[in-house]
């Protein structure tokens, strides 16, 4: 067996001569009258003596392992950031319509399917879900001026017109339900027909909305078999959680509206009103938020020894923060006494029931006792009595980047629910970030010590923004460059998101949620310098489209080679995992056609990259510019892969 020594950390690479040179430069700045820097000078002798001592100290410091280095960081108040957990909205589909409500309890487990040796990724629901049983009760048409007309009785004798002829934007069909269905999926079955030339069944000018008692909220259309009320079929809608029973048209019901919208350019419009013969409504499922973190309840962590500074370890680590408060409970004759978590014992008195949680190590730290200047002992918190049992009421463990699963990945129902047939996440999970590494803390530690919780430099803003939102994938601070924004800074935030199965990253996922931006803004506002204006926003994105022609080797399969080429392009220009180091395409770095050639040539199976064309593109409109050799990016801008085109020609020696 060969023993390989671990590499020694290099916390400071300065040596004896570096210290001597630095000291002599300071002498020239502070004492210009001292001109004799020869080794015979007594002052230089003292400099060299202290440099020798400093060299020995730094040598020994560089031998310190990571565990002790973390302890040094803790002395200055720097702790490793814990991982954050990805979140996803999970929809539970019923096996069939039910005449009673179906309850999905909190902490219901769903997971991805296992693929080979890879472990499944599990999620737990955060809140209970009630899938409310409902039925059709009223059909009311709404004119463009807001007037209502009840058509419920007409359904018994024949069809009625949903809208006027021809329909006008703003008109609507209101469907009343016997009960409001917040966070549920409903199927509205409509027997309808339309006379004359209708609309595009794949893109009808209709919007489905739910009434929350104050205003109409948008519903998500899961499927529409009617093609925009063109034929008989079912429309499955996902109703927002704010849906409430309300009185409209003198009827108390849960109201859903189908509203005619203004047609977009090139979108066909109704020439006559749809005719509705019958309506029926059933609840088919419900949606609730879930998180990539398992909940642990009532874990006993040990017995108190009655001494200060005790440390107890949890069985599972790391601990995911931000979902619910972690409460320590101490057993006593009267039951379990709750103790509150604090960031520091500095402000804790002798009777304060406080503790500190180290989420990365999964440790509970109890208050210490320190010696005051007069020699007396000072307690920084209460100490559990000897023999008292300690337990943590609940905590969640898990998190990390692996929780950013693609849409439709969460399909395994680990907790059986009566009447529920399957579960799925209709949107990809996002927000999962791995815990901070020691190397990253080494960089952050000196910056944190220098800034002392105040944002002055760009590095300070990035550091504090990261503390406020550890679930953000990238944070960049740049000075405002507009003429009227002097003295301002922009904090650019890129959320942690997942790609589609083909490697493409939909543009809408790069927009950070408003609550993330608000949390960073509220955290930075009291820490900024007075007079500094801070804008927290997403960066600008420059779409980049690559059109290329590849010549394959004889053994390469063209379809697989084209897919690998597209994957390589999406990876290279990825805002989170692109660039030369795989840490995301750098802000403001131009995109050059030579890098595209190099990335494509490295693909296994490519014999020759015959042609590469680089196009700037607008990711919102899809408009493509003229081919260029280089695309320059602004300081606020990231590259974004947009709709690459790869053509694989015949191998050499085979005529095309």
Find, among 402, 357, 340, the residue nearest to 122 by Cα. 402
Residue 132 binned pLDDT confidence (cut-offs 50, 70, 90): very high
φ/ψ of 260, rounded to 5, equals -80, 130
> In this structure, are residues 523 and 468 in contact, taking their beta carbons and an 8 Å threshold?
yes
> DSSP string covering 233-265, please?
EEEEEE--TT--EEEETTEEEEEEEEEE-PPPT
Arithmetic mean of pLDDT, 129-156: 89
Query: From CA 317, how far away is CA 398, in angstroms rounded?
Result: 8
Query: From CA 134, how far away is CA 179, in angstroms rounded?
Result: 5
Find, among 468, 465, 492, 470, the residue nearest to 479 by Cα. 492
* pLDDT over 70 percentage in the chain: 93
Q: Taking each helix axis as running N to C, give the angle between helix 558-572 and helix 593-601, from 0 to 180 degrees, rounded to the nearest 10.
A: 140
Find, among 277, 246, 94, 100, the residue nearest to 177 by Cα. 246
Mean pLDDT of the chain: 86
How does 476-505 read in b/e, with b if 16+ C-beta sit within 10 Å? Answer: bbbebeeeeeeeebbbbbbbbbbbeeebbb
Residue 4 binned pLDDT confidence (cut-offs 50, 70, 90): very low
φ/ψ of 82, rounded to 5, equals -75, 155
CA 66 to chain centre: 29
For 422-440, what is each residue's pLDDT tens digit?
999 998 888 888 887 777 7
> In this structure, are residues 570 and 558 in contact, taking their beta carbons and an 8 Å threshold?
no
Whether this prediction's pTM lies above 0.85 is answered by no
Q: Which residues are within 8 A (CB) of 87 and not within 5 positions of it... i.e. 6 or more apart?
A: 289, 290, 291, 292, 429, 430, 431
For 194-235, what is each residue's pLDDT tens digit?
654 567 888 888 999 999 989 999 999 999 998 888 888 999
pLDDT of residue 195: 59
pLDDT of residue 3: 45
For 519-563, what is each residue's pLDDT tens digit?
899 988 888 888 788 889 898 899 999 999 998 888 888 889 998
Does the pLDDT of residue 166 top 80, yes or no? yes
Burial of 16 (0-12, 13-18, 19+ CB in 10 A): middle
Element (H, E) at 542: strand 540-552
Arithmetic mean of pLDDT, 459-481: 84
> In this structure, are residues 612 and 595 in contact, taking their beta carbons and an 8 Å threshold?
no
pLDDT of residue 274: 86
Does the pLDDT of residue 331 top 70, yes or no? yes
Q: Taking each helix axis as running N to C, give the angle between helix 458-468 and helix 438-451, from 0 to 180 degrees, rounded to the nearest 10.
A: 120
Q: Which residues are within 8 A (CB) of 480 and not within 5 positions of it... i.e. 6 or more apart?
A: 486, 487, 488, 489, 490, 533, 535
pLDDT of residue 8: 53
Token pair of 470 as six digits: 């550890």
> In this structure, are residues 226 and 194 in contact, taking their beta carbons and an 8 Å threshold?
no
Q: Which residues are within 8 A (CB) of 85 and not within 5 positions of it... i.e. 6 or more apart?
A: 291, 292, 293, 320, 323, 396, 398, 399, 400, 403, 431, 432
Q: Which residues are within 8 A (CB) of 156 and not within 5 positions of it... i.e. 6 or more apart?
A: none
Lowest mean pLDDT among 155-169, 447-461, 611-625: 447-461
pLDDT of residue 528: 87
Angle at 112 between CA 108 and CA 114, to 5 degrees: 130
Domain extents in the chain: 16-63, 86-292+399-430, 294-370+379-398, 453-537, 540-648
Does the pLDDT of residue 354 top 90, yes or no? yes
Ranges assigned E (strand) in 342-400: 354-358, 363-365, 369-371, 377-379, 389-398
Arithmetic mean of pLDDT, 268-287: 89
Overall residue count recorded for the chain in this entry: 656
Lowest mean pLDDT among 96-105, 192-201, 382-391, 466-475: 192-201
pLDDT of residue 356: 92
Residue reference for tokens 């630095």: 22
CATH of 453-537, one of 3.20.20, 2.40.320, 3.80.10, 3.30.300: 3.30.300
pLDDT of residue 78: 74
Residue 509 binned pLDDT confidence (cut-offs 50, 70, 90): confident
Does the pLDDT of residue 322 top 50, yes or no? yes
For 578-601, what is each residue's pLDDT tens digit?
887 888 888 888 999 999 999 999
pLDDT of residue 288: 95
Arithmetic mean of pLDDT, 495-500: 75
Find, among 328, 322, 324, the residue nearest to 340 by Cα. 328
Helix or strand or coil: residue 131? strand
> In this structure, are residues 593 and 549 in contact, taking their beta carbons and an 8 Å threshold?
no
Helix or strand or coil: residue 18? helix
Query: From CA 28, how far away is CA 118, in angstroms rounded?
Result: 62
How does 194-215 read in b/e, with b if 16+ C-beta sit within 10 Å? Answer: beeebbeeeebbbebbbbbeee
Ranges assigned E (strand) in 414-486: 420-425, 472-479
Arithmetic mean of pLDDT, 608-618: 90
CA 221 to chain centre: 24
Query: From CA 366, how far away is CA 304, in angstroms rounded?
Result: 10
Arithmetic mean of pLDDT, 502-528: 85
Element (H, E) at 71: helix 66-75
The dihedral sign for the CA sequence 577, 581, 587, 592: negative
Token pair of 435 as six digits: 């815990």
pLDDT of residue 501: 61
Neighbours of 473 (CB within 10 A): 23
Lowest mean pLDDT among 71-80, 132-141, 174-183, 559-568: 71-80
Residue 647 binned pLDDT confidence (cut-offs 50, 70, 90): very high
Does the pLDDT of residue 619 top 80, yes or no? yes
Element (H, E) at 561: helix 558-572
Arithmetic mean of pLDDT, 5-29: 74
Structure-model confidence comparison of residues 453 and 315, the more confident one: 315
pLDDT of residue 651: 82
> In this structure, are residues 412 and 111 in contact, taking their beta carbons and an 8 Å threshold?
yes
């Amino acid at each position: 067996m060969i023993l390989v020594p671990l590499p020694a950390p290099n916390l400071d690479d300065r040596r004896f001569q570096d210290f001597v040179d630095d000291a002599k430069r300071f002498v020239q700045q502070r004492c210009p009258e001292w001109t004799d820097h020869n080794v015979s000078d007594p002052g230089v002798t003292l400099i060299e003596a202290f440099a020798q001592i400093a060299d020995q100290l730094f040598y020994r410091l560089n031998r310190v392992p990571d565990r002790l280095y973390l302890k040094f960081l803790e002395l200055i108040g720097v702790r490793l950031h814990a991982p954050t957990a990805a979140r996803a909205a999970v929809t539970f589909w019923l096996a069939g319509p039910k005449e009673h409500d179906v309850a999905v309890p909190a902490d219901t487990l769903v997971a991805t399917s296992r693929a080979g040796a890879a472990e499944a990724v599990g999620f737990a629901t955060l809140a209970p879900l009630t899938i409310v049983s409902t039925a059709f009760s009223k059909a009311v048409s709404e004119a463009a001026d807001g007037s209502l007309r009840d058509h419920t009785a007409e359904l018994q004798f024949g069809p009625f017109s949903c809208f006027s002829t021809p329909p006008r934007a703003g008109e609507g069909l209101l469907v009343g339900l016997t009960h409001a269905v917040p966070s549920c999926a409903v199927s509205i079955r409509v027997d309808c027909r339309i006379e004359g030339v209708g609309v595009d069944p794949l893109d009808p000018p209709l919007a489905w909305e739910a009434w929350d008692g104050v205003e109409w909220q948008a519903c998500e259309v899961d499927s529409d078999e009617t093609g925009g009320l063109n034929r008989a079929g079912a429309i499955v809608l996902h109703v927002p959680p704010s849906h409430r029973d309300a009185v409209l048209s003198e009827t108390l019901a849960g109201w859903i509206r189908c509203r005619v919208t203004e047609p977009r350019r090139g979108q066909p419009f109704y020439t006559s009103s749809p005719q509705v013969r019958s309506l029926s409504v059933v609840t088919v499922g419900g949606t609730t938020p879930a998180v990539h973190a398992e909940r642990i309840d009532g874990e006993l962590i040990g017995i108190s020894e009655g001494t200060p500074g005790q440390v107890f370890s949890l069985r599972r680590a790391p601990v995911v923060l931000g979902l619910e408060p972690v409460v320590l409970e101490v057993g006593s004759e009267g039951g379990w006494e709750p103790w509150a978590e604090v960031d520091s014992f500095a402000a804790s008195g002798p009777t304060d029931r406080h503790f500190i949680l180290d989420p990365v190590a999964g440790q509970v730290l109890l208050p210490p006792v320190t010696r005051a200047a007069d020699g007396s002992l000072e307690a920084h918190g209460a100490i559990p009595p000897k023999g008292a049992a300690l337990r943590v009421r609940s905590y969640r463990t898990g998190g990390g980047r692996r929780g950013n699963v693609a849409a439709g990945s969460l399909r395994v129902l680990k907790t059986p629910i009566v009447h529920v047939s399957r579960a799925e996440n209709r949107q990809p999970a996002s927000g999962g970030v791995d815990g901070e590494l020691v190397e990253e803390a080494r960089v952050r530690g000196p910056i944190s010590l220098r800034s002392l919780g105040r944002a002055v430099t760009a590095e300070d803003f990035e550091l504090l923004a990261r503390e406020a939102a550890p679930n953000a994938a990238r944070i960049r601070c740049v000075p405002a460059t507009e003429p009227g924004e002097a003295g301002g800074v922009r904090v650019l935030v890129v959320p942690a998101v997942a790609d589609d199965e083909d490697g493409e990253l939909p543009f809408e996922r790069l927009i950070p949620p408003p609550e993330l931006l608000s949390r960073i803004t509220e955290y930075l506002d009291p820490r900024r310098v007075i007079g500094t204006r801070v804008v927290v926003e997403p960066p600008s994105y420059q779409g980049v489209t690559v059109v290329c022609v590849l010549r394959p080797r004889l053994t390469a399969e063209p379809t697989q080679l084209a897919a690998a080429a597209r994957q390589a392009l999406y990876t290279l220009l990825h805002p989170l995992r692109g660039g030369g180091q795989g840490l995301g395409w750098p802000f403001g770095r131009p995109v050059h056609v030579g890098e595209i050639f190099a990335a494509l040539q490295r693909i296994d199976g490519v014999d020759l990259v015959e042609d590469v064309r680089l196009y700037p593109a607008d990711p919102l409109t899809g408009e493509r510019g003229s081919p260029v050799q280089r695309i320059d990016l602004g300081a606020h801008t990231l590259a974004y892969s947009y709709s690459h085109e790869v053509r694989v020609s015949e191998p050499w020696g085979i005529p095309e």
